[in-house]
């Protein structure tokens, strides 16, 4: 296996990737909170870890990829106060919370399928794991790091910090955190301002609640990931991923919970993808630049000058390394599409190229090709740098085009070199980067043009052409209807 280096947020350095129990790899990624249509931030997170997943599979690892669905407990402003995001939406739309969760889980799946994001091995829901979460909370209390207060349960950060480093992942210092936190207002049930909720008491009007040893309530946001990752991947697994905005407090709290519960940090490598900005500004409802994926795919948003296909979006995201910021603009997306189509066209040529034994091997040419191939691998091995891998593919694209146009003699490279070129291109384009040809789904324009030729041919009494066009359309299941005053088409029964 080639050597893969990953940047570990926990140690702040690139490390050689060595799974705990090779060839098995356990990977947990924080999935969406399902109360709204997925947007570009969702796309970047999902595509980042999709490529990690795909590359690990390519390297021969047996990966169990767990990505959760948060369908309860994520309160507004990521805090311990306020409404549950899903319950609030349910109230506004007068639906069951589960209808909201299902509706947006469905749209998440649909959009991610369009982006060619592979489904995870296990996709657990927080509401399906209330018992596991209660058990984890009990252990945390038993081990002395949690306390009940007025029907809610909180994690005792001060107590935890006596034995462990709270802030280990995000690099934050406890004293700074404490001084930055507003003083408790006296209304709170917490002992310390940094304490976070493991279980929240439900008010009578709260619609999503379960019974527990502490009364009716619902789990805090962070505990679901600790409970579900441990259930499916064990107390210590290989990769924990998510967006950079989750490193604190969500992942920091997950580490604290796992230490308190299982006496172990949950994961060996912590990977975080960076955020997306639009025209240099953070995405946000208040800035009116909050564009969801459906709007990108249809072009139906005032900031968009046109529609952008899912592969256009995917390719754009892949052009950057996942840890760098990424800014979206109409100009940049159009440029990405030009580049993507260039790769796609070369990909479509691969099966048309044929090789025959030549008289002489051009070893310089072979070396040039091998150096592009090496660039593809080196990019991915350097912390999944898809931008570098794409640059290697562009190098190969030039050779594919030159061979196709006979500007270079394909028979002047060895059969091995030829096969290596073809297989590398296919594997990187399709399997690792997850790119694909998007079939034109709207054939109306093509059919209309053909019917125009049909009408013209008929008027000129060119009946061989008329028959030919009928045959072409028939092959596609379309029948031409000659009406008195016009020509129409219908699906053939």
Spatial separation of the C-alpha atoms in residues 411 and 428, rounded to whole Å: 24
Given the rule CB under 5 A, which of 24-32, 171-179, 232-240, 357-365 is the region that contacts Zn ion? 24-32
Q: Which is nearer to Zn ion, 266 or 434 (CB)?
A: 266
Tell me how far, at minimum, the Cβ of 66 lies from Zn ion, in Å: 11
Closest distance of CB 294 from Zn ion, Å = 25
Stretch that binds Zn ion, among 154-162, 225-233, 283-291, 476-484 (CB under 5 A): 225-233
Q: Which is nearer to Zn ion, 249 or 434 (CB)?
A: 249
Which of 157, 129, 141 shows the shortest CA–CA distance to 73?
A: 129
CA-CA-CA-CA torsion sign (126, 75, 173, 240): positive
Contacts (Cβ under 8 Å, ≥6 apart) of 343? 315, 390, 393, 394, 397, 429, 435
Which range, of 50-58, 217-225, 448-456, 468-476, touches Zn ion by CB under 5 A?
A: 217-225
Closer by beta carbon to Zn ion, 7 or else 221: 221
Write down the least CB distance from residue 75 to Zn ion, Å: 14
Query: Cβ closer to Zn ion: 141 or 223?
Result: 223
Q: The tokens of 169 are what?
A: 């992942």
Does the footprint of Zn ion cover residue 225 (CB under 5 A)? Answer: yes
Give the shortest CB-68-to-Zn ion separation in angstroms: 6
Stretch in the footprint of Zn ion (CB under 5 A) among 28-36, 37-45, 125-133, 460-468 = 28-36
Q: Where are the alpha helices (DSSP H) in 357-438?
A: 363-381, 386-404, 415-426
- Among 10, 25, 29, 30, interactor with Zn ion by CB under 5 A: 30
Helix, strand, coil shares of the chain, percent, nearest 5, are 50, 15, 35
369-377 long-range Cβ contacts below 8 angstroms, 24+ apart: 369/396, 369/399, 369/413, 369/417, 369/420, 369/421, 370/417, 370/420, 371/395, 372/396, 372/399, 373/420, 373/421, 373/424, 376/424, 376/428, 377/2
The nearest distance, CB 209 to Zn ion, in angstroms, is: 21
Q: How far is the CB of 132 from Zn ion (least distance, A)?
A: 14
Residue 177-216 contact track with Zn ion, rule CB under 5 A, x = bound: ----------------------------------------
The contact set with Zn ion (CB under 5 A) reads 30, 225
């Amino acid at each position: 296996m080639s050597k893969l280096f990953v940047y570990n947020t926990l140690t702040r350095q690139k490390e050689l990737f060595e799974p705990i129990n090779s060839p098995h790899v356990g990977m947990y990624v924080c999935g969406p909170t399902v109360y709204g249509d997925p947007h570009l931030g969702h796309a970047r997170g999902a595509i980042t870890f999709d490529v990690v997943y795909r590359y690990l599979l390519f390297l021969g690892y047996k990966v169990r990829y767990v990505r959760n669905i948060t369908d309860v407990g994520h309160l507004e402003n990521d805090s311990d106060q306020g409404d549950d995001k899903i319950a609030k939406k349910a109230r506004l739309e007068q639906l069951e919370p589960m209808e909201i969760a299902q509706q947006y889980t469905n749209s998440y799946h649909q959009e991610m399928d369009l982006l060619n994001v592979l489904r995870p091995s296990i996709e657990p829901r927080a509401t399906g794991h209330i018992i596991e979460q209660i058990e984890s909370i009990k252990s945390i209390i038993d081990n002395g790091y949690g306390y009940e207060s007025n029907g809610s349960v909180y994690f005792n950060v001060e107590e935890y910090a006596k034995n462990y480093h709270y802030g280990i992942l995000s690099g934050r210092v406890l004293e700074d955190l404490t001084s930055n936190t507003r003083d408790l207002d006296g209304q709170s049930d917490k002992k310390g301002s940094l304490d976070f909720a493991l279980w929240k008491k439900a008010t009578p009007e709260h619609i999503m609640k379960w019974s527990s040893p502490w009364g009716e309530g619902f789990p805090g946001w962070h505990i679901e990931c600790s409970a579900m990752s441990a259930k499916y991947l064990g107390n210590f697994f290989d990769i924990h991923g998510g967006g950079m905005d989750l490193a604190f407090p969500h992942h920091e709290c997950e580490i604290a919970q796992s230490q308190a519960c299982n006496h172990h940090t949950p994961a060996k490598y912590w990977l975080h993808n960076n955020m997306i900005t639009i025209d240099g500004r953070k995405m946000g409802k208040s800035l009116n630049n909050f564009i969801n994926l459906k709007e990108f795919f249809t072009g139906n948003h005032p900031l968009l000058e046109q529609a952008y296909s899912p592969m256009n979006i995917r390719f754009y995201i892949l052009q950057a390394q996942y840890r760098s910021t990424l800014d979206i603009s109409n100009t940049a997306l159009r440029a990405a599409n030009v580049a993507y189509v260039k790769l796609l066209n070369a990909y479509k040529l691969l099966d048309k190229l044929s090789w025959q034994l030549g008289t002489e091997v051009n070893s310089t040419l072979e070396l040039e090709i091998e150096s592009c191939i090496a660039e593809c691998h080196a990019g991915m091995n350097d912390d999944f740098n898809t931008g570098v891998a794409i640059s290697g593919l562009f190098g190969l694209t030039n050779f594919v085009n030159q061979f196709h146009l006979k500007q270079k003699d394909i028979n002047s490279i060895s059969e091995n070199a030829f096969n290596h070129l073809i297989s590398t291109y296919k594997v990187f384009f399709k399997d690792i980067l997850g790119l694909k040809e998007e079939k034109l789904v709207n054939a109306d324009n093509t059919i209309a043009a053909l019917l125009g030729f049909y009408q013209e041919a008929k008027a000129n009494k060119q009946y061989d052409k008329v028959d030919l066009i009928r045959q072409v359309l028939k092959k596609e299941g379309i029948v031409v209807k000659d009406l008195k005053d016009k020509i129409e088409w219908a699906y053939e029964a």
